[in-house]
Amino acid sequence: MTTWQLSNEAETLTYTLILEDTRLYYAVAYRGTPVIERSPLGIVRADADFTAGLTWIATSDTRVIDETYRMLIGKQSAIAHRGVEQVFTFQNADGALLELAVRAYPDGVAFRYGFPGPAGQTVVVTGETTGFYIPPNGDAWMLPYDKVATWAPAYENEFRQVAIGTAAPEPTGWAFPVICNPNGVWLLLTEAGLDTPFYGIHLEQDAPGGRYRARLPEEPETYGVAPQTATVTLPFHAPWRTFIIGPTAGVAVESSLVYTLSAPSVLADTAWVKPGRVSWSWWSDMNSQMDYHLLVPFVDLAAGLHWEYSLVDYGWHEMRNGAIRDLIAYADARGVGLFLWYNSGGAHNQVLDAGPRDIMNDPARRREEMARLQAWGIKGIKVDFMQSDKQYVMQLYHDILRDAADFKLLVNFHGATVPRGWSRTFPHLLSMEAVAGAEQYWSERFADVAHHLHTIYPYTRNAVGPMDYTPVIFGDAPQKQPHLTTNAHELALSVAFESGLQHFADTPAAYLSQPQGVQDFLKVVPVTWDETRHLAGVPGALLVIARRKGDVWYVAGLNGLTTPQPVAVPLTFLAEGDYTATLIHDGAAPRAFALQSLAVTRAVALTVEMAGRGGFVARICPVGLD
Average pLDDT (317-346) is 97
Specify the pTM: 0.98
Average pLDDT of 75-104? 98
Q: What is the mean pLDDT of residues 215-221?
A: 98
- Answer whether residue 325 shows pLDDT above 90: yes
Q: What is the pLDDT of residue 598?
A: 97
Whole-number pLDDT of residue 625:
84
Helix (H) or strand (E) holding 504: strand 501-504
What value does the mean pLDDT take over residues 274-287? 98
Residue-wise pLDDT for 424-469, tens only, equals 999 999 999 999 999 999 999 999 999 999 999 999 999 999 999 9
Question: Distance (Å, rounded) from C-alpha 55 to C-alpha 534?
Answer: 44
Across the chain, which distance is largest between two alpha carbons, in Å?
Answer: 75
What's phi and psi for 444, nearest 5 deg?
-65, -35
Q: State residue 603's pLDDT score.
A: 97
Q: What percent of the chain has pLDDT over 90?
A: 98
- In tens, the pLDDT along 140-177 reads 999 999 999 999 999 999 999 999 999 999 999 999 99
Is residue 587 a contact partner of residue 616, using CB atoms and an 8 Å limit? no
Report which of 566, 546, 407, 431 is spatially closest to residue 499, judged by C-alpha positions. 431
Residue 479 — pLDDT band, cuts 50, 70, 90?
Answer: confident
Over residues 238-263, the pLDDT tens digits come to 999 999 999 999 999 999 999 999 99
Structural domains in the chain, sorted by start: 2-260 (2.70.98.10), 280-527 (3.20.20.70), 533-622 (2.60.40.1180)
Q: State yes or no: pLDDT of 333 exceeds 80.
A: yes
Q: How buried is 624 (Cβ within 10 angstroms: 0-12 exposed, 13-18 middle, 19+ buried)?
A: exposed
CB 83, CB 102: distance < 8 Å: no
* 125 close to 27: Cβ distance less than 8 angstroms: no
Kindly list the catalytic residues: 384, 444
> Quick check: 170 and 220 in contact, CB under 8 A?
no
Whether omega before 106 lies within 30 degrees of 0, making that bond cis, reads no
Query: Measured between alpha carbons, how far is 363 from 366 in angstroms, rounded to an integer?
Result: 5
624 pLDDT higher than 90: no
Check pLDDT > 90 for residue 626.
Answer: no
Q: pLDDT tier at 399 (50, 70, 90 boundaries)?
A: very high
Question: What does the pLDDT average to over 552-581?
Answer: 98
The string of pLDDT tens digits covering residues 423-434 is 999 999 999 999
* Mean pLDDT, the chain, whole residue set: 98
Which whole number is the average pLDDT over 332-353? Answer: 95
Q: What are phi and psi of 477, to 5 degrees?
A: -85, 150
29-65 pLDDT per residue, tens: 999 999 999 999 999 999 999 999 999 999 999 999 9
Per-residue pLDDT at 119 exceeds 80:
yes
Q: How far is CA 413 from the centre of its chain?
A: 11
Confidence of residue 345 (pLDDT cuts 50, 70, 90): confident
What dihedral do alpha carbons 212, 214, 219, 222 form, nearest 10°? 120
Mean local confidence (pLDDT), 576-592:
97
